[in-house]
Chains A and B, each alone.
Chain A
Amino acid sequence: MNSVAIPVATQMLFHNRPRFIMTVVGIAIAFFLAAAQIGLLVGWINTNSAIIKHAGVDIWVMAQETRTLDYGTAIPRHRIQQVSSVQGVAWAEGMLVGWVNWQHPEGKHITVEVIGLDKANAGGPWLMPEGNISSIHLPQTVVVDELSKQTLGVRQIGDEAEMEGRRVIIGGFSRGVRTFTASPFVFTSIDNALDYVAYYQDDEISYVLVRIDPGADVMQVRDRIAREVSHVEVLTTAEFAERSVKYWMLETGVGITVIITAALGLLVGAVIMSQTLFAITQDHIANYATLLALGFHQKTLRQIVLTQSLSLGGLGIVVGSVLFFIACNASATTPIPLETTPMVSTSLILFSLLCCIASSWFSIRAIFKLDPVMVFHG
C-alpha cells in the first residue's frame, strides 16, 4: 500500500462532509436492513428448533416422514420400551404433540399446540420464572409461556380456561418458548394431553426422546435403533432441528421471502455505495489526472478508491451494527426476535465488505481510462 493512498483517500472523503455523512448513513441503513432480515431468519430458525435443541436429548424417534416437530404423528407408546432396550441407550421417554382448540375465559377461541411431556419433562420449557414445570403432572394443569398470556387470555397461576371444552388450570409460566405461528405452545403431561387431543389413542405418543450412554457414538446408536425398532424414523437432535427448520423455511416459502429480502437489502447497500463512490470519483477526476501526471501509479489511484470504498463500507457497517444491536435488544421479548450468531455476523460483514469492494469497480474503471494529458487542457 502506497503511503500516500490512505491520507489522500480519507481527506478526499471528509472534504465534503455532508455527502460523506449521508453516504455512511445510507450504507448503515442498507446494512441494518440486511442484518435485520438475516437476524429475523436466525431468530426464526432458533424459534423453530428451540424445543428440539433445549430438550437435552441426543436422538429423536418419530413416525416416518415426520416433517417438523409441530406435525408429529402417532406412534405406539411401547416404542419407548423398545428403544430403551437398544444397546447404547441410557434413557428414553415419550412426548406428544397435538393441535387443539383453546377457549379464553371470555369465550374467544384460538388453536394451540399442546406438548405432552413424560416424567422427566424432557422437551419442556427451560426457564420457569413463575411456578414449577412439575405442576403439569397435576390433573388439568398446564404451563404456558409468558409471551402468550394475552393471546391465551390468562394473567396468573391459577387462572382457568378451556381446551376442547374441558377445564385447564395455569400451573406456571415459562420464558423464551416462542412460536412464530399464531398458535402458542401449551405444556402439560402426556396423560393430560391425551384427554384433550382427541385424535390420539391412550397408547399413543408422537416422539421417543433418547439419551445415549456416556461415551457411546450417537450415529451408531441412531443406526442401531433404526435397525431394531420398526416403522419409525430415527434422527439425531441436530438432524431433527435442521429438518424442522428446512420445512418451515423452504417448504412453506416464508423463509425464501426472508432470504430474498435480506439479499435485496445488501444489493441496495451495494448500489448506494457504488453510485456514491462513482460520483466522488467523477468529482475528483481532474485531481486523479493531476496525480497521474505527477507520477502517481494507477495502482496507487486504485488503492485510493478501494480505501474510500472500505472506509465508507466499514463505517456504514459499524453504524448499521449498532442499529442492529439496539433492534436485537428491543425485539428480545417479542415472538420473533432478531438474533445472530458469531458465524452469521462475520459472514454478513465479510460479504458486505466484498460488496463494497465490488461497488468500486465502476470508479476503478473510470480511473483506468483516465488520460493524464487532460491536465494540460484545464
Chain B
Amino acid sequence: MRMTKIYEGAYQWIMLGRDEHKPEKIIDTNQYMVRTANRCLLIDPGGIELFAPMLAAVLHHAPVEEITDLFASHQDPDIISSLGLWDQALPNAKLHASALWEGFLRHFGCETIEYVPIPDHGGVINLGSTELQIVPAHYLHASANFHIYDPHAKILMSGDVGAALEAPAMPVFVENFDMHVEKMRYFHQRWMPSNQAKRAWIDRVRKLDIDILAPQHGRMFKGDDVKRFLDWFEALQVGIAV
C-alpha cells in the first residue's frame, strides 16, 4: 500500500491507498492516519479486504497499542467493514462515529473498542497534543455523515465529497482540475442526494482555511484546486436518479 505524507509538523498526516494487491472488483479507497508522538488516529480505515495491507502499512509508523482512535465518516462497508478485525487487534481504541449508525456498525463486531457516538452537530477528537474538528456533512452521501477538519494542518478529510472514480495507480493529487472534473461528475450527481445538503456543507466549508481537501476515493485537492472544487460542486445539480 502506498503511503504519502501530506502534513509534517508537531504530528503527521499520512494518506494510505493505491494498494496494488487490492481485489479488482472492490472500489479503491484512501485511508488517512494522523500520527502524534504517542497516539494514532485512523480515518475511514477501510473494508475487510483491505485490513491486512492497511495494518501492515500502519505498522511502519505506529505500534498497535498506540492506535488509539478510529473514525468512520459513515457506515458503508468500504469505510469500516474491517471494524471486527480492528476490534480484535487494538487493545485500547475508541471508534468515533455517528450516534445514528451505532446499532448498524456494531454488526461488524465492536466489543473491545469503545464506541464514541457523535451527535448530529459534530464534535472533536482530542489526540492529546492536537484536537481535530468533526464537521457535519449529513446526506453527503449518507444520512448521518461527518468529515474531519484539522485547523493546524489545514486539511479537510471530506469523505465521499471530492471523490472520483478512475483507474488504479492514479496520482495522489489532482494535477489538472479541468481534466479531473469528468471523473467526479457522475459520482457526485448520483451518490449525493440533496442540493440543500450540498449548499449547507459548502457554506460551512467555505469558512474553513483549507490547504488540502482529502476525499476517500480518488485524488486529493490542494491550493487553488480546493476553491475550484467548491465552486464546481456548488454549481452541480445532484440527486439525479429521481
**Chain A complexes with chain B:** no
